[in-house]
Structure 1
Amino acid sequence: MVGRPLGIYAAEFLSEEEQLILKEIKDNLRESGFYKLDFSMANRYGETIDCQITYRKICIDQTVFHVGMLRDMSAVVKDKKQVAHLLNYDQLTGLPNRKVFLSQASDVLLDTYQEVVIVRLNIDRYRNLASLLGSEGINTLIQKFVKRIKELHLEHLRCFSHFGGDDFALLFECQDGNMVRHQLDTLMQMCEIPFTMNGNAATNSNIYCHISVGVSYFPKNDAQVTGLLSKAEKALQYVKQHGGDDIRWYDKTIEEATSGSLQLEADLRAASAEGQFIPYYQPKFLLDTGIITGFEALVRWQHPTRGLLKPKHFIDAILTHKLSFELFSQMANKIAKQLSEWQQQGFCQHICINADAAEFSHPEFLTW
């Protein structure tokens, strides 16, 4: 096409669409000297290929020429599609990732006249399962888990997404959010059926994947996707903190519980720093003689405003916030000091102190 005028394309041989394209080419060359168009066409084998045509105006010895080039862009387009897929879909499961989920959820909220339900779910004991099965085994389990959910063909499901690891999200749109309750019950029942992990080096037994589920819905809980996702996450964490294997729909009591938990954590850290945990000594007797044979040290929290608190008011939070070793260290130091004082007074007894596996496995266990 080098050196040949664009007028060779006789209008009577062009369709109306082709005439418009020719006009666009001429206008662009006249205004900017360049034109580019991406399009698809059939090759001689009848296969559809992606193409790109470019026209450029050049001047040689004050003479204007138009250079046209037609390129097969199939490989480039294929690479772009692969990159887009990598950016938007999880490679292990093929499910949309968080980015796509947020985009689809936003689109649904903009157009919907119905209720929208966002579900977050995690697999219970995921770290233990990953440790047991190894990386290849846990990946296989995740793939089987996803396949089984897809086979449920859940009604009103608009998007099923994998955020990574054991973290999944589902988007439902229906006339009444309560209609999703049946779908979630179906999910929980699915988890009662074990997954067979034949050929895994770690185990040939059946594996159960129980799940924790948190739910929020539009318009009651929030009007924005990020808010709905956050509230579903809070409901999910509430379930996990209470043992998992359950479903929780978001409500204000979760916020209150979360706020209370944060305040309790702050109080516990302050108590640890200020030495508010103290030992109470419960004597042990020989039943036949009544002679004291030793003591068991029981922890109490001397709270500055609530008074003396028993472990039932704080021990679960101690474990949740990983403060057990700090508590153990403080108690051990105070008990050792008490033993030393008793020995100086000629009162020699032993004292038992409670500890769990976390304390024994701590790298600083023997340094206190």
Structure 2
Amino acid sequence: MSAKMLQKVNDLKGLAQQDALTGLLNRMHFQQLVEHHLITPDAEHPHCLFFIDLDGFKTINDTLGHHVGDRLLQTIAERLRIATRTEDLPLATQGKGLEPQLYTARFGGDEFVVFLANGASGSIAQKMASRILRVLSEPVEVLGQSARVSASLGVAFFPRDGASYSSLLRAADAAMYHAKREGRQRCEFYNPSIEDAERRMAAEEQELRQALQRGELELYFQPQYDVETLGLRSVEALIRWNHPERGLLLPGTFMPVAERASMTTDVGEWVLGEAARKIAELERRGTPLQIAVNISPSHLEELSFVSLVRSTLQQTGASSHLLEIEVTEDVAMRDPELVADRLSQLSTMGVSISIDDFGTGYSNLASLIKLPFSKLKIDRSLLDVLESNGEAQILVQTIISMANCLGFHSVAEGVEREEQLQLLSAMGCDFLQGFYLSRPLSWAQLRIALNEQSDRSVNKGFRKAS
């Protein structure tokens, strides 16, 4: 065989062993190399497997395009090569005749694996994992675009965590998913309790999905009252889970499950749709009322969110001015230009906008006044010390005065005592919300309250007329 032909054969052989995009090992060849080291278990010189999954890669792929995503994966591969160098690691095999072997592969998509053979102690694995997390989290310039991702890592040891390639890989994968569920951009080492926790969390997520399909979620309504008349002016929609076995569950019990399962958008869409249906029904009953819905950051990031609101109002027949969208202060400041664009489109439709939890962040007020807010809700933490803390009184008074000057309505959340009500009234606050005036109402209770308020208004008008 000629040298040219031999080179061509070698090139083809190399291509069969490599990932075409990154040049790392492909899944099949990686498995062959790793299994060679697993033939004879050696407890004194264990091997370890890192399973790496990028956080936020899908968003970059969707927003900047697949060509940017491909270049980003190539950069990540280069950084992995740097982060997994063994020359400066005090491996347990040094000086014992065993050379450390390291293999790095791309499994497809944004999944990567690293195998460290011979003498991979827990401390060495932790050092390498920390280095990988640090290197991969640094921003990347790709084709003139700035991109940033992080990674979640799972680590498993052979033979302790898996006595075969498939079991070792499964253990590292389970540890990686646990890292994602625990907050991402972190490393988790496999232990048997992880799989128990994963099974439990998977069951919780499936139960919540079924609850959404079966109609077990429902809305409660926190009333908002006019300071001068104490009349019911609007309500804030609060989600509850009417669990068939555990009873009525508050969102703190199940919304973390929704976040883990990437269901916050689905749940938020349900809340929006249900609130719009309630608005339309109250209008038909002759007791129209504004209902506020809290919006998560993921909603505002969705290009289709404005269209979703528009189509929901059209399908339900709800008047747009009776729907209020609440955005927290930190969400409003996360990306002011994006938020301003989304909220301006909603405001143009007639939807009211309020800023929630105001007063504890570090907002750029110049940016805030460019957003189309109609209400400014004072964070409840300021009310907790309102009677006893002079600085809190000054801050709350400043917020109320600022809202009045800017043409916003001011709303105090968490009113639980008569003294708070009196102070807020004297400060010129417009609306009050809290347990002192009312706890959250069920749909049936809200209808009764509105009917009673309507009856009082009619009777009051009749007496004046007579």
- The question of a shared fold, defined as TM-score above 0.5 by the shorter chain, is answered with yes
Structure-1 residue corresponding to 2:12: 83
- One-letter amino acid matched to 2:145: A
Among 132, 154, 158, the alignment partner of 1:187 is 132
How far 1:122 sits from its partner (Å)?
Answer: 2.3
Count of matched residue positions in the alignment of Structure 1 and Structure 2 = 292
Among 194, 203, 215, the alignment partner of 1:254 is 194
**Mean Cα displacement is larger for which, 176-185 or 293-302?**
176-185
Structure-2 residue corresponding to 1:125: 56
Secondary structure of 1:111's aligned partner: coil
How far 1:324 sits from its partner (Å)?
Answer: 4.7
Structure-2 residue corresponding to 1:168: 112
Q: In structure 2, do the counterparts of structure 1 residues 349 and 93 end up closer, same or farther at CA, with 3 Å as the change threshold?
A: closer
Relative to its length, the structure with more strand (as a share) is 1
Q: How does 1:97-176 map to 2 (within 5 A)?
A: 97-113=26-42, 114-131=45-62, 134-152=65-83, 153-154=85-86, 155=89, 156-176=100-120
**Mean Cα displacement is larger for which, 164-173 or 315-324?**
315-324
Structure-2 residue corresponding to 1:16: none
Secondary structure of 2:163's aligned partner: coil
Take 2:111 and 2:101, find their aligned partners in 1: how far apart are those partners? 17
How far 1:223 sits from its partner (Å)?
Answer: 0.3
Take 1:123 and 1:166, find their aligned partners in 2: how far apart are those partners? 6
Take 2:19 and 2:276, find their aligned partners in 1: how far apart are those partners? 55
Among 335, 345, 348, the alignment partner of 2:288 is 348
Among 216, 219, 241, the alignment partner of 2:181 is 241
Take 2:82 and 2:284, find their aligned partners in 1: how far apart are those partners? 73
Structure-2 residue corresponding to 1:201: 144
- One-letter amino acid matched to 1:163: F
Q: How does 1:52-67 map to 2 (within 5 A)?
A: none
Secondary structure of 1:221's aligned partner: coil
**Mean Cα displacement is larger for which, 228-237 or 318-327?**
318-327
Among 238, 242, 258, the alignment partner of 1:318 is 258
Take 1:278 and 1:118, find their aligned partners in 2: how far apart are those partners? 45
Take 2:66 and 2:277, find their aligned partners in 1: how far apart are those partners? 48
How much is the aligned-residue C-alpha RMSD, in angstroms?
3.0
How far 1:336 sits from its partner (Å)?
Answer: 5.2
Take 1:85 and 1:161, find their aligned partners in 2: how far apart are those partners? 14
Q: In structure 2, do the counterparts of structure 1 residues 361 and 168 end up closer, same or farther at CA, with 3 Å as the change threshold?
A: farther
Percent identity, aligned pairs only, is 23
Among 167, 172, 177, the alignment partner of 1:232 is 172
How far 1:360 sits from its partner (Å)?
Answer: 2.2
Take 2:209 and 2:170, find their aligned partners in 1: how far apart are those partners? 26
Secondary structure of 2:145's aligned partner: coil
**Mean Cα displacement is larger for which, 80-89 or 255-264?**
80-89
String of CA shifts for 1:257-314, please: whole Å, max 9, x gaps: 2112221122123222321111111100122331110111211001111111111222
Secondary structure of 1:90's aligned partner: coil
Stretches of structure 2 that go unaligned for 5 or more consecutive residues are: 90-99, 317-466
Take 2:33 and 2:10, find their aligned partners in 1: how far apart are those partners? 19
How far 1:90 sits from its partner (Å)?
Answer: 1.3
How far 1:192 sits from its partner (Å)?
Answer: 5.8
Take 1:348 and 1:335, find their aligned partners in 2: how far apart are those partners? 13
How far 1:217 sits from its partner (Å)?
Answer: 0.8
Take 1:285 and 1:360, find their aligned partners in 2: how far apart are those partners? 29
Take 1:132 and 1:328, find their aligned partners in 2: how far apart are those partners? 22
Structure-2 residue corresponding to 1:15: none
- Asked whether the equivalents of residues 212 and 240 of structure 1 are also in contact (C-alpha less than 8 Å), the reply is yes
- Asked whether the equivalents of residues 152 and 184 of structure 2 are also in contact (C-alpha less than 8 Å), the reply is yes
Take 1:216 and 1:329, find their aligned partners in 2: how far apart are those partners? 39
Take 2:70 and 2:275, find their aligned partners in 1: how far apart are those partners? 48
String of CA shifts for 1:187-220, please: whole Å, max 9, x gaps: 23434654455xx2334xxx55432211111122
String of CA shifts for 1:301-356, please: whole Å, max 9, x gaps: 01111111111222233345454565456545654565566556543322223344
- One-letter amino acid matched to 2:38: L
Take 1:252 and 1:265, find their aligned partners in 2: how far apart are those partners? 20
The reply on whether 1:280 has 2:220 as its aligned counterpart is yes
How far 1:233 sits from its partner (Å)?
Answer: 1.1
The reply on whether 1:92 has 2:10 as its aligned counterpart is no
How far 1:109 sits from its partner (Å)?
Answer: 0.7
The reply on whether 1:303 has 2:243 as its aligned counterpart is yes
Larger Rg: 1
- One-letter amino acid matched to 1:201: G
- Asked whether the equivalents of residues 157 and 170 of structure 1 are also in contact (C-alpha less than 8 Å), the reply is no
- Asked whether the equivalents of residues 132 and 202 of structure 1 are also in contact (C-alpha less than 8 Å), the reply is no
- Asked whether the equivalents of residues 277 and 327 of structure 1 are also in contact (C-alpha less than 8 Å), the reply is no
- One-letter amino acid matched to 2:31: L
Take 2:62 and 2:282, find their aligned partners in 1: how far apart are those partners? 47
Take 1:340 and 1:83, find their aligned partners in 2: how far apart are those partners? 66
Take 1:177 and 1:195, find their aligned partners in 2: how far apart are those partners? 31
